[in-house]
Amino acid sequence: MKAILSSEWLKLRSVTSTYQTIGTAALTIVLGAAWTLYVSDLADERGVRSAAAPEQGFLPLVQISLAVLGVLAITSEYATGMIRTSLTTVPKRSTLLLAKAGVVGLATFLAANSILLVTYSAGRLIAGDRALGFNQTSFADDLPMLFGSALSVTALALVGLGLGAAVRSTAGAIVSVVALLFMLPGLVNYLPPPWNTRIATLLLPNLVPQIADQHLSTRLGDGYLPPWAAVIVLLAYPLLALAIGYYQLRRKDA
């Protein structure tokens, strides 16, 4: 297994797309700093006292960028035909997918934590003593939100990997991830109450604040999952996607 993990790590770090997706996610640091400077100037000029924290406002950029990394970790092999070599080297498909999931999961979790922590630190440093809303809490208070955010990024990357294995198409898997992250939450708002709130609490974009023990405010109501339940629901997304991916990987020839 160690040799398989080393091989998958070599594949991941030897392609340009890995650095491009991580680089795109890292733009959050620059955008977060620019946002903080902007709202700090407004606070000085107009007395603005509340603003979205940059590590939360730009989280979708990190999520979708590293989800693409997860998709490309397997669909690029189908595009180039490298998947045949991989399956010849590792005939047991469950082992191959598990190794890919381990490497992608670790890489995205470390990258997400680094990007979010730097964005968080830069935002607080730039804001200084200005009361902008997001710099009034301590790091210990914000740690659950940061952890939940990094965990959501990792979960989405693994969802991308699972969907990529299932549909074998980069475009198809990315569209599916985008729909899950952006389109589905909007559609749920049109469901009749109380189903709109009940389902909204289970959607991936809404799990991060609940992991941080915050109530979820929706257009038509208020919902809440305890942090432990929100973590379980979040982990269910990649497990389900990888199970579907494994089923398709085992069912179809390369």
Residue 41 has pLDDT above 90, yes or no: no
According to the model, what pLDDT value does residue 160 have? 96
Pick the residue with more confidence: 21 or 40? Answer: 21
According to the model, what pLDDT value does residue 131 have? 59
Quickly list DSSP for 146-178.
HHHHHHHHHHHHHHHHHHHHHH--HHHHHHHHH
pTM score of the predicted model: 0.91
Mean pLDDT, all residues of the chain? 87
45 confidence band (pLDDT: 50, 70, 90):
low
Which whole-number Å values give the CA distances from 154 to 85, 160, 226, 231, 235, in the listed order?
27, 10, 20, 12, 10
Contacts (Cβ under 8 Å, ≥6 apart) of 213: 144, 226, 227
According to the model, what pLDDT value does residue 167 have? 93
According to the model, what pLDDT value does residue 68 have? 96
The fraction of the chain above a pLDDT of 70, given in percent, is 90
| Measured distance CA(90)–CA(84) in Å, rounded | 10
Supply angle C-alpha 116, 205, 146, rounded to 5: 25
Question: Cα 101 to chain center, whole Å?
Answer: 14
- Range scoring the smallest mean pLDDT among 84-98, 119-133, 207-221: 207-221
The model's pLDDT over 219-251, given as tens digits with 9 standing for 90+, comes to 434 567 888 999 999 999 999 999 999 999 888
Residue 10 has pLDDT above 70, yes or no: yes
| Helix (H), strand (E) counts: the chain | 12, 2
Tell me if 148 sits within 8 A of 212, measured CB to CB: yes
Torsion angle (degrees, nearest 10) of CA 203, 208, 214, 215:
-10
91 burial via Cβ count (<10 Å: 0-12, 13-18, 19+): exposed
Residue range 186-203: mean pLDDT, rounded: 87
| Measured distance CA(7)–CA(254) in Å, rounded | 19
According to the model, what pLDDT value does residue 234 have? 96
The model's pLDDT over 77-111, given as tens digits with 9 standing for 90+, comes to 888 888 888 888 888 888 999 999 999 999 999 99
| Measured distance CA(217)–CA(168) in Å, rounded | 36
